[in-house]
A = this chain, B = another copy of it.
Amino acid sequence: MSDSPLDLMVHKLGTRSELSAADRSAILALPYVQRTYHASSYVVREGEPPRTYCDLIQDGFAYRQKLTSAGSRQIVSLHMRGDFLDLQHLFLNMADHNVQALTELKVVAVEREALQAIALNRPAIGRAMWIDSLVDSSIYREWVMNVGRRDARARISHVLCEFALRMKAAGFPDDNGYELPLTQEQLADVVGLTPVHVSRTLKSLELDGIVNRAKRFIGFKDWHAAAAVGDFNALYLHLDQATPRT
């Protein structure tokens, strides 16, 4: 195996569909540069035309965000190692939301036109990218429901459960918990609540033994209880389509 930063992309797409040797070398032949963003810097800005390259996260976390005209913020998705940041705009003429680095963020920036080309001309790669994008859509749908129809405890538990499984799928060690890379204010913007109420709700979840916390570390004493409180059913993550293939 080679030792290119694009290996990550080969691996990621390889979990979504079966790639031939030719597919793999097509990916490895993509023009790219590596790049680092500081925490909280903008990767994509709403209203601007898409940039000439597309970022794949190598390390760190990012989020998508939209602002109300009144200035309140809604975080509409969270992303981690192995996630594409610009697939959502790959064929669109204008960015409809902002993407920001959550932590220090290392990415592989692939040329947009080359990425479009392999998405359209290499069926196995196209399929893998489709699946990736459809899973993102599925998560959006779940979030609409989360924010629209669950109370604070359920919303927060749900997001904590989702993040746990996604981190595990992304290869983070599973210590029965994880370091949540969000301030409570950011978590509030994820779940459509105020920071104050998030603080109270987290405390109540902790008192009830649903999670335990140490700074930003979220631990699950009782996964089933957390999943029950969060009304969490992993179906929508389509993890069966995110397992490594030959």
Residue positions of A touching B, CB distance < 8 A:
46-47, 64, 66, 68-70, 72-74, 76-77, 88-94, 96-97, 116, 119-121, 123, 126-127, 130-131, 133-138, 140-145, 147-150, 191-192, 231, 233, 235-236, 238, 240-241
Contacts and interface: CB of A to CB of B under 8 A. Distances in A.
A147 B66 CA distance: 12
Contacts of A64: 141
Contacts of A77: 141
Contacts of A143: 140, 144
Interface centre among A47, A74, A91, A133 (most CB of B within 10 A): A91
Given A68-B149, A147-B148, 6 more contacts: A68-B231, A88-B137, A91-B134, A94-B235, A119-B130, A148-B192
Nearest to A151: B70
A96 B138 contact: yes
A144 B74 contact: yes
Contacts of A97: 138, 141, 236
Contacts of A90: 130, 134
Contact of A133 (B94, B126, B134, B141): B134
A69 B230 CA distance: 10
B74 A235 contact: no
B148 A70 contact: no
Q: Copies of this chain, how many?
A: 2
A129 to B, nearest CB: 9
Nearest to A123: B120
Interface centre among A90, A119, A140 (most CB of B within 10 A): A140
A4 B101 CA distance: 48
Given A127-B120, A141-B97, A150-B68, A92 B133 contact: no
